[in-house]
């Protein structure tokens, strides 16, 4: 059965996935005159979506890849401690091992880390501004703010243990302010006094409700003329090096081009387009705390000692973090969310003093689509230039989605790829 989900003249693109990247890509394609069909099985921005559980950072300085020099020394700990900030489930290790080896190699030297950071800076540098514009267009300017982000440390020694990361950031053009204990206490009166040093990145921004924001972007795309098919893409019909249709569980969508932005479930479609990529899911958790005293950060912050981000959002106070390598099918380990809750409460003593029944806590698990070198895939597929791959953003999917959408629209046009896209080319993994 063939589906005609978008009538009228003009070129027709099927955007597979209506998350942050897919919705931004649809909006930018519409600007270029494409007819757009968005293919998504669930509600955009719903609880099943990765973007829903995002920490809400438009962190233009999040340019450091997951692995740094010497990370290989931590592997035994990742395997031994199922509740550590990064853990690998033993049963999943044989399948994850090739990905983990590439992951470690990507950060083997500072030079490699710097190359990755330079590439990510191109993706992220203007993300707060681009998202402010998108939010305004979508009618939700109140969901995006640019008031900076804060990293908090218990001591200067703890900060200096991350010297390589900050040195690399500085080379990409990131600047910051240091807040001593007195200023930190004045700016963040609810924060536990064990934190004595703050690093404030003024250029960065944040989102106060990622799920609502992504839902608004999808609605905006529909208001601009996109159509939506509620279904799951199952394959691509490519004949003679050209795309003819996207196969879905609802039938085929005849189209001239497709964008694969299906998050952690993108690998099979990329392979069908001739571009196998080593995509893995980094399972991330968050907790939302509502009720109790109005305690929390004035500025969204990351605590170095707990490796978690804390952000005051419209639905409540969110603590997000943790990386678990266990695949898409494994059951959640809610002990990891409990670790986030305990650390959050320890950061803000007023929460610890509140009666337990006064605090409502919700837990969530999502699947970050991650590639081992810390860079997303953004580029044309090997089998046909009609298929654009745009996935694998790891921890920067929300922030990087606005620039990715613009690059996707460029790639849909004939001609050379945009300048600066070479580091993100899917061909870097071979065929």
What is the tens place of the pLDDT at every residue in 260-316? 999 999 999 999 999 999 999 999 999 999 987 788 999 999 999 999 999 999 989
- Give 248-259 pLDDT, tens digit per residue: 999 999 999 999
Query: 3-state DSSP call for residue 129?
Result: helix
Residue 2 pLDDT greater than 90, yes or no:
no
- Which residue, chain included where needed, has tokens 């500025």? 299
Distance CA 121, CA 204 (A): 12
Q: To which residue do tokens 């990329």 refer?
A: 270
**Which one is predicted more confidently, 35 or 351?**
35
416 — pLDDT class (breaks 50, 70, 90) = confident
What would the two tokens of residue 115 be? 């190359």
pLDDT band for position 79 (50/70/90)? confident
pTM: 0.95
Provide the sign of the torsion angle of the four alpha carbons 3, 8, 13, 14, taken in this order: negative
More reliable by pLDDT, 23 or 360: 23
Question: For 191-236, what is each residue's pLDDT tens digit?
Answer: 999 999 999 999 999 999 999 999 999 999 999 999 999 999 999 9
- In Å, what is the CA distance from 251 to each residue of 69, 115, 237, 271, 386? 48, 43, 12, 20, 20
Contact assessment for residue 232 and residue 249, using Cβ atoms and an 8 Å cutoff: yes
What tokens appear for 340 in the block? Answer: 């986030």
pLDDT-derived band at 9, boundaries 50, 70, 90: low
pLDDT tens digits for range 13-52: 999 999 999 999 999 999 999 999 999 999 999 999 999 9
Summarize the confidence of residues 417-426 as an average pLDDT. Answer: 92
Percent of the chain with pLDDT over 70: 97
Band of residue 402 on the pLDDT scale cut at 50, 70, 90? very high
- State phi, psi for 337 to the nearest 5 degrees: -65, -35
Q: Could you give the domains of the chain?
A: 1-65+123-144+203-277+373-431 (3.50.50.60), 75-91+280-370 (3.30.9.10)
């Amino acid at each position: 059965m063939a589906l005609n989900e978008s009538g009228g003249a003009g070129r027709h693109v099927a955007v597979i996935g209506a998350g942050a990247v897919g919705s931004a890509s649809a909006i930018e394609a519409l600007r270029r005159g494409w007819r757009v069909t968005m293919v998504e099985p669930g509600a955009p921005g719903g609880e099943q979506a990765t973007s829903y559980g995002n920490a809400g950072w438009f962190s233009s300085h999040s340019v450091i890849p997951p692995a740094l020099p010497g990370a290989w020394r931590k592997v035994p700990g990742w395997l031994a401690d199922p509740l550590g900030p990064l853990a690998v489930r033993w049963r999943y290790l044989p399948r994850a091992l090739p990905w983990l080896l590439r992951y470690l190699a990507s950060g083997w030297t500072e030079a490699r880390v710097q190359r990755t950071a330079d590439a990510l800076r191109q993706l992220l540098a203007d993300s707060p501004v681009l998202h402010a514009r998108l939010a305004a267009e979508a009618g939700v300017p109140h969901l995006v703010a640019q008031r900076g982000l804060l990293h908090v440390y218990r001591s200067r020694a703890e900060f200096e243990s991350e010297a390589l990361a900050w040195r690399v950031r500085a080379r990409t053009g990131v600047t910051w302010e240091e807040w001593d204990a007195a200023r930190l206490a004045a700016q963040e009166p609810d924060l536990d006094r064990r934190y004595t040093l703050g690093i404030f990145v003024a250029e960065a921004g944040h989102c106060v409700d990622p799920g609502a924001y992504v839902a608004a972007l999808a609605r905006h795309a529909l208001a601009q003329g996109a159509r939506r098919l509620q279904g799951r893409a199952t394959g691509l019909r490519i004949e003679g090096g050209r795309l003819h249709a996207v196969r879905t569980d609802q039938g085929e969508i005849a189209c001239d081009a497709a964008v694969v932005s299906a998050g952690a479930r993108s690998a099979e479609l990329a392979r069908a387009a001739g571009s196998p990529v080593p995509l893995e899911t980094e399972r991330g958790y968050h907790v939302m705390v509502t009720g109790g005293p109005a305690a929390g950060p004035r500025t969204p912050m990351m605590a170095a000692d707990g490796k978690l981000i804390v952000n005051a959002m419209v639905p409540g106070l969110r603590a997000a973090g943790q990386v678990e390598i266990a695949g898409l099918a494994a059951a959640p380990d809610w002990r990891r969310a409990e670790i986030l809750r305990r650390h959050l409460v320890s950061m803000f003593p007023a929460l610890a003093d509140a009666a337990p029944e006064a605090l409502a806590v919700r837990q969530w698990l999502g699947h970050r689509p991650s590639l081992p070198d810390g860079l997303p895939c953004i580029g044309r597929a090997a089998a046909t230039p009609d298929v654009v791959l745009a996935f694998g953003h790891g921890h920067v999917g929300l922030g990087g989605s606005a620039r990715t959408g613009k690059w996707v629209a460029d790639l849909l046009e004939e001609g050379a790829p945009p300048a600066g896209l070479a580091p993100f080319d899917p061909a870097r993994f071979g065929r």
